[in-house]
């Protein structure tokens, strides 16, 4: 019932050079303006002008935090401590991104909102035992901070209150560094600090194998145009990469470097998560977004740092189980710059 008293709103973080809008509905980044090589600002996030389209389910997980468990759980089932749990099969035959009403479809509380030189906002959500089929109460916080002129940090934490539970939060923004309304991202270049990926079955669930990217269309260990080999991977990229070779700073690993050749905007992403889902907007189809822009296939790319998909059912994948009174902690650093 609490959701009915709470209102979905949009909040702004602005440090003079980056302008970010974030909603308490799903902790959703609705807009992010950064300069190009000429200092010209553009909004590099796909989304909508107001909260209403998000509330009505427009788009597919645009800009939000997904949970309790991001990505796919095979057949919507898992067993933990001898108990079998059944989840909503909202993307048949699997459960996706937390079920029918995951964290992306909840109004979070705003517990801190700082308009300082390093502006930040902290959202909090309490997920109850049995919600969408998951065990135990879980308290979740997410803090977005503009840590420098062109850097944003996201810190996600979750505490399991009384039962062991799988937890895997992911930030699902669709990026287009040329501007949200500029068409396909296939001419963006990307490097991924991943020597391995997890191949998937016909329903996009990992088979359990961890395979070298070498000599495959999945190899982005050197910078490569996204569209170069995309026709060799079906609809496009929608795969989990194993972050196993990135340099580190402040405890975070280098995930990806994305470069857009015309604007020369660059995004470097860092995380402490073991994997990243690289998704090229394969199912985007005629979505009317901000300013009437129409988003088509490949209009944006997602870099969702995460635990591996279906890890709860794959003993050889890093565990995503959080024990009672233990804390899940997941950070992402988005560093924007302009290429020389």
Look up residue 264 and give its two tokens: 């020369």
Beta bridge partners of 196: 212, 242
Q: Are 67 and 85 a contacting pair, CB within 8 Å?
A: no
Check residue 291 and report its DSSP letter.
G
Q: Is 36 helix (H, G, I), strand (E, B) or coil?
A: coil
Residue numbers annotated as active site: 172, 304
- What are the structure tokens assigned to 109, written together? 């509380």
Residues contacting residue 38 through CB under 8 Å, at least 6 positions apart:
none
Closest CA to 264 of 42, 29, 12: 42
Ramachandran region, residue 130 (left: φ > 0; alpha: ψ -120 to 50; beta: rest): left
Q: In 286-305, which positions are buried (b, 16+ CB within 10 angstroms) versus exposed (e)?
A: ebebbeebebeebbbbbbbb
Encode 187-207: b = buried (16+ Cβ within 10 Å), e = exposed: ebbbbbbbbbbbebeeebbbe
CA nearest 101: which of 125, 60, 131, 128?
A: 131
- Tokens of residue 65, six digits: 């935090």
13 contact partners, CB below 8 Å, separation of at least 6: 19, 20, 21, 22, 119, 120, 121, 144, 145, 146, 152
DSSP annotation of 4 reads H
Q: What is the C-alpha separation between 303 and 227, in angstroms, rounded? A: 16
Q: What is the chain's length? A: 340
Which of 229, 220, 228 is CA-nearest to residue 255? 220
């Amino acid at each position: 019932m609490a959701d009915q008293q709470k209102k979905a709103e949009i909040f702004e973080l602005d440090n003079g050079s980056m302008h970010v809008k974030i909603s308490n509905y799903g902790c959703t980044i609705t807009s992010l303006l950064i300069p190009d090589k000429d200092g010209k600002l553009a909004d590099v996030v796909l989304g909508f002008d107001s909260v209403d389209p998000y509330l009505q389910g427009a788009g597919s997980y645009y800009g939000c935090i997904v949970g309790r468990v991001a990505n796919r759980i095979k057949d919507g089932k898992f067993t933990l401590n001898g108990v079998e749990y059944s989840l909503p099969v909202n993307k048949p035959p699997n459960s996706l991104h937390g079920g029918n009403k995951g964290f992306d479809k909840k109004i979070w509380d705003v517990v801190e909102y700082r308009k300082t030189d390093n502006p930040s906002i902290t959202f909090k959500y309490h997920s109850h035992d049995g919600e969408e089929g998951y065990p135990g109460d879980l308290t979740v916080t997410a803090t977005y901070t503009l840590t420098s002129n062109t850097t944003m940090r996201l810190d996600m934490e979750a505490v399991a209150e009384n039962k062991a539970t799988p937890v895997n939060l992911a930030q699902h923004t669709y990026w287009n560094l040329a501007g949200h309304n500029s068409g396909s991202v296939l001419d963006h270049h990307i490097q991924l600090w991943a020597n391995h990926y997890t191949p998937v079955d016909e329903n996009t669930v990992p088979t359990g194998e961890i395979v070298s990217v070498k000599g495959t269309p999945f190899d982005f260990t050197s910078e490569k145009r996204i569209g170069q080999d995309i026709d060799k991977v079906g609809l496009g990229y929608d795969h989990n990469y194993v972050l196993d070779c990135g340099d580190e700073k402040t405890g975070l690993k280098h995930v990806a470097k994305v470069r857009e050749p015309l604007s020369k905007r660059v995004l470097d992403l860092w995380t402490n998560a073991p994997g990243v889902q690289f998704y090229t907007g394969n199912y985007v189809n005629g979505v009317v977004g901000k300013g009437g822009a129409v988003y088509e296939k490949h209009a944006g790319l997602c870099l969702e740092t995460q635990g591996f998909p279906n890890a709860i059912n794959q003993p050889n994948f890093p565990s995503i189980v959080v024990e009672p009174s233990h804390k899940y902690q997941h950070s992402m650093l988005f560093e924007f710059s302009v290429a020389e």
